[in-house]
């Protein structure tokens, strides 16, 4: 197999996996009546998957879902799936299917999505197991995607001929067709049917793209066809036509500009070659295509005997390459220290989304370029997602522990507050007071009995009557002392006697009613004491119950805090292991890149010497 063919096989296989991720599950939720279900769907549609899982799981455990329990279980399945918990989603889905409470189309879509997650994580056998759960008549587009997926699994096992047969069955205008053609070319190359592979790539080259994935497919096909014509068929004119079809600022534009320059060079169209390479030379110097263009320009100038300009540009390129080696070395040092990924993942809040969270939005820096290329590898994508999700979970655990500390402080405040209030209603103190009041009542009843027996009306006279009577007696005594000198003494004595008799008559006439009211009042005092005693007992019970309830929260807070404390070292250990895995992958890739660049520098240094020799 040729070098170009091997290049085909390595690059084309990875492409469809990116394309398959556009497929998704579609569940149309109707007649949402339960507020818990509505809240769960809000979290799902807002990509707040982790919060949705936590909230809905708690609601179901506490029995808060009243109206739509089956729908809530399906919503939890979808949240688990969106977050990337494919095992939990599969388990939930099997449970729902056993009860027969799910539409077949929905379950097929969910199984397909589970298979996608498993495939991207490298669980190929588990992905096939998920696909085997799909049954019955399928919508046309899902059927096409399913066939494409099965073909990819066959290709992963090296069964290219069966894969090619499956891919040939995918026809029509669905989004799966361009990917099927592209991967069909892979299978044909692996079966050493290069001509058929090229014909298939030509069909991809001619498609009218409507999506970014199809645009990428078309550009990539043109790249392969262009290089094949240039290097294998030695037909630079035909290769130019393919390179010029690639979008100038697309993902593949650097490779296309480089190939376009070499095609013009092969035709001795040096000015056109320099135009392509000059444009390419202005781009990111970390790209090997740009580095090759920076050398191709002085190489062409030397070809035209512009030795001075050639030597100058060679030296500039060498300075750039040496700086690039230094950047790679610095990046390797930063990566090994372990602090680099904190800079790389500036927003760990994407961990709320889980598997759907973006890891492609890297900060603008020279180092980020290296990781942009590494992110094309699914193993690195998943490792970086896992690292980000673990960091997010770590931050959530820290937040929850802080919240629990606040809850604990608040709970203890209320316990102390309730206990202090309970002191104001101490049962023992109240009963003592109530007993004293009852004894006083017995004494008063005894006094009333004596008053009733002796008919002592004066004992029940009001304070006003007693004051009035005392005043009259005082006036009478005063009158007697000055009677000899008072000509009106006799008349005044009669008036005072009349007033005294009126007061005494009022006291005696009201005696019976006052005695009766006094007895009733004492009975009411006893009744009030008994009622107050009961209320005080009830209040003491409420306070005790409130304190006991608060103490149960104290226990639950302590238990939850213990769980968090147990999880934190596990999360920290997982973060360290994932970080070590990321570091290992990154360092190996960076060191390989540095080795290649140093070899390239050695070649360029030789060319610089040749350029100087030519100028002399």
* pLDDT score recorded for residue 264: 92
Tokens in use for 219? Answer: 């550009």
SS3 annotation, 121-136: CCCHHHHHHHHCCCCC
Q: Which residue bears the tokens 């769960």?
A: 40
| Winning range, highest mean pLDDT, from 163-177, 294-308, 391-405, 455-469 | 391-405
Closest C-alpha among 246, 228, 248, 247 to residue 238 = 228
* pLDDT score recorded for residue 369: 74
Per-residue pLDDT band at 166 (split at 50, 70, 90): confident
* pLDDT score recorded for residue 612: 57
Per-residue pLDDT band at 233 (split at 50, 70, 90): confident
* pLDDT score recorded for residue 184: 85
What letters, b where the CB count within 10 A reaches 16 and e where it falls short, cover 568-581? eeebeebbeebbeb
Closest C-alpha among 213, 212, 181, 175 to residue 197 = 181
- In the predicted structure, residue 535 carries a pLDDT above the cut 70: no
* pLDDT score recorded for residue 3: 36
The residue that leads in pLDDT, 421 or 303, is 303
* pLDDT score recorded for residue 11: 45
Q: Which residue bears the tokens 């918990």?
A: 85
Q: How far apart are CA 145 and CA 24, in angstroms?
A: 11
pLDDT-wise least confident of 323-332, 395-404, 504-513, 538-547:
538-547
- The answer to whether the beta carbons of residues 163 and 151 sit under 8 Å apart is yes
Q: How far apart are CA 48 and CA 79, in angstroms?
A: 9
Tokens in use for 69? Answer: 């329990």
Tokens in use for 163? Answer: 């894969």
Q: Exposed/middle/buried for 267, CB within 10 Å: 0-12, 13-18, 19+? A: middle
* pLDDT score recorded for residue 277: 92
- Count of all residues that appear for the chain in the document: 616
pTM over 0.75: no
The DSSP 8-state label assigned to residue 457 in this structure reads G
Domain ranges (residues) in the chain: 218-281, 284-446+530-616
The DSSP 8-state label assigned to residue 425 in this structure reads T
Architecture of domain 218-281: Alpha Horseshoe (1.25)
Closest C-alpha among 251, 265, 194 to residue 225 = 194
Residue range 16-38, pLDDT digits in tens: 444 333 334 456 777 788 888 88
Enumerate residues 6+ apart whose C-beta is below 8 A from 552: none
SS3 annotation, 30-95: CCCCCHHHHHHHHHHHCCCHHHHHHHHHHHHHCCCCCCCHHHHHHHHHHHHHHHCCHHHHHHHHHH
Residue range 289-341, pLDDT digits in tens: 998 999 888 888 877 777 778 788 888 888 988 998 998 888 888 888 876 77
Closest C-alpha among 331, 432, 17 to residue 186 = 17
């Amino acid at each position: 197999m040729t070098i170009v063919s091997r290049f085909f096989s390595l690059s084309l296989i990875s492409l469809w996996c990116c394309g398959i991720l556009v497929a998704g599950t579609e569940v149309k939720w109707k007649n949402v009546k339960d507020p818990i279900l509505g809240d769960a769907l809000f979290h799902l549609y807002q990509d707040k998957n982790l919060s949705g899982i936590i909230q809905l799981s708690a609601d179901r455990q506490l029995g808060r879902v009243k109206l739509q329990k089956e729908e809530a279980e399906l919503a939890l399945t979808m949240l688990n799936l969106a977050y990337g918990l494919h095992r939990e989603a599969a388990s939930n889905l099997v449970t729902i299917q056993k009860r027969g409470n799910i539409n077949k189309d929905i379950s097929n879509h969910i199984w397909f999505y589970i298979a996608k997650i498993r495939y991207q994580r490298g669980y190929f056998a588990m992905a096939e197991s998920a696909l085997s759960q799909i049954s019955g008549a399928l919508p046309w587009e899902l059927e096409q995607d399913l066939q494409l997926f099965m073909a990819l699994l066959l290709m992963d096992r090296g069964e290219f001929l069966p894969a090619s047969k499956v891919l040939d069955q995918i026809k029509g205008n669905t989004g799966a067709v361009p990917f099927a053609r592209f991967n069909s070319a892979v299978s044909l190359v692996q079966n050493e049917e290069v001509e058929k592979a090229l014909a298939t790539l030509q069909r991809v080259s001619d498609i009218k793209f409507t999506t970014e994935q199809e645009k990428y497919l078309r550009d990539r096909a043109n790249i392969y066809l262009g290089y094949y014509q240039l290097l294998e068929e030695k037909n630079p004119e035909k290769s130019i036509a393919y390179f010029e079809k690639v979008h100038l600022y697309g993902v593949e534009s650097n490779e296309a500009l480089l190939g376009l320059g070499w095609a013009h060079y092969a035709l001795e169209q040096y000015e056109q070659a320099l135009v392509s390479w000059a444009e390419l030379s202005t781009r990111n110097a970390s790209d090997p295509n740009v580095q090759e263009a920076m050398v191709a320009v002085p190489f062409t100038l030397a070809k035209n005997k512009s030795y001075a300009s050639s030597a100058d540009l060679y030296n500039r390129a060498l300075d750039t390459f040496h700086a690039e080696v230094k950047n790679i070395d610095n990046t390797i040092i930063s990566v090994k220290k372990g602090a680099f990924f904190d800079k790389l993942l500036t927003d760990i809040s994407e961990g709320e989304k889980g598997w759907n969270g973006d890891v492609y939005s890297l900060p603008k820096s020279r180092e980020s370029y290296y990781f942009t290329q590494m992110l094309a590898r699914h193993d690195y994508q998943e490792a970086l997602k896992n690292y980000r999700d673990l960091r997010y979970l770590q931050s959530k655990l820290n937040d929850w522990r802080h919240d629990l500390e606040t809850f604990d402080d608040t709970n203890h405040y209320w316990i102390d507050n309730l206990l202090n209030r309970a002191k104001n209603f101490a049962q023992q103190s109240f009963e003592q007071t109530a007993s004293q009041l009852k004894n006083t009542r017995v004494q008063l009843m005894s006094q009333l009995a004596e008053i009733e027996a002796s008919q002592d009306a004066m004992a029940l006279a009001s304070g006003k009557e007693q004051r009035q009577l005392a005043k009259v007696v005082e006036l009478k005594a005063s009158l007697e002392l000055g009677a000899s000198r008072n000509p009106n003494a006799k008349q005044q004595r009669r008036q005072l006697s009349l007033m005294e008799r009126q007061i005494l008559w009022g006291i005696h006439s009201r005696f019976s009613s006052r005695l009766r009211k006094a007895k009733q009042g004492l009975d009411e005092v006893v009744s009030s004491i008994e009622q107050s005693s009961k209320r005080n007992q009830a209040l003491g019970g409420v306070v005790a119950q409130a304190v006991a309830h608060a103490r149960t929260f104290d226990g639950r807070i302590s238990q939850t805090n213990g769980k968090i404390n147990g999880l934190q070292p596990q999360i920290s250990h997982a973060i360290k292991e994932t970080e070590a895995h990321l570091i290992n992958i990154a360092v190996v890739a960076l060191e390989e890149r540095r080795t290649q660049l140093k070899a390239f520098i050695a070649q360029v240094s030789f060319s610089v010497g040749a350029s100087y020799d030519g100028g002399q």
